[in-house]
Chains A and B, each alone.
Chain A
Amino acid sequence: GAVVSQHPSWVICKSGTSVKIECRSLDFQATTMFWYRQFPKQSLMLMATSNEGSKATYEQGVEKDKFLINHASLTLSTLTVTSAHPEDSSFYICSARQGDYEQYFGPGTRLTVT
């Protein structure tokens, strides 16, 4: 149980285009979903927290107009990287929380912007 999927697992896009990443909790309803970014050899950096049906809460320094998060249902959250640039190339990981504590991680999406 507690499986989280992400799609796509990797994507290459051209600078200036937008990319959408989906995060789904497959066998449970996630009250809260989190989006992380991880650069090589660095730890996870929380980008935003989203609760179903409400606006996402962004961490300091994360541009909400650039990283659009939609948490449309208890099993689906999407992250759209708008007008992507090479510096946005990173490993994006979502996680879903059931209850107060443990977060279940998706497999991650590797984004490369050329």
Chain B
Amino acid sequence: GQNIDQPTEMTATEGAIVQINCTYQTSGFNGLFWYQQHAGEAPTFLSYNVLDGLEEKGRFSSFLSRSKGYSYLLLKELQMKDSASYLCAVVDSNYQLIWGAGTKLIIKP
């Protein structure tokens, strides 16, 4: 079967750094997405990785290791508005998105 694992919830302090991990086992791999979803809203795109390595975009970075079936999303200089759920999703061999359950990130002052 196909499986995406993420921690259910994480807590971090404003101004700090947090790393949200995602491990996956899927039938094929055509890339991995990270989305941010605030409560009551639709997901918004954060990053897409298809090759190994680190992709940096402002305060957010995403890392991928295909051999390990592993990715992480790194958030720096945390702000209160970063409190949201972060969804990891893998594109499988049929170009379908396989979704993780999401990680709820709580930012404390």
Contact = CB atoms under 8 A, between A and B. Distances in A.
Given A43-B87, A44-B43, A108-B41, A101 B99 contact: no
Given A43-B87, A44-B87, A102 B99 contact: no
Main SS at interface, chain B:
loop
Contact of B33 (A102, A106, A110): A102
A93 interface: yes
Classify chain B's interface size: 20 to 34
B99 A105 contact: no
Nearest to A103: B97
Interface of B: 30-31, 33, 35, 40-45, 48, 87, 91, 95-97, 99-102
Interface of A: 34, 42-44, 46, 49, 91, 93, 100-108, 110
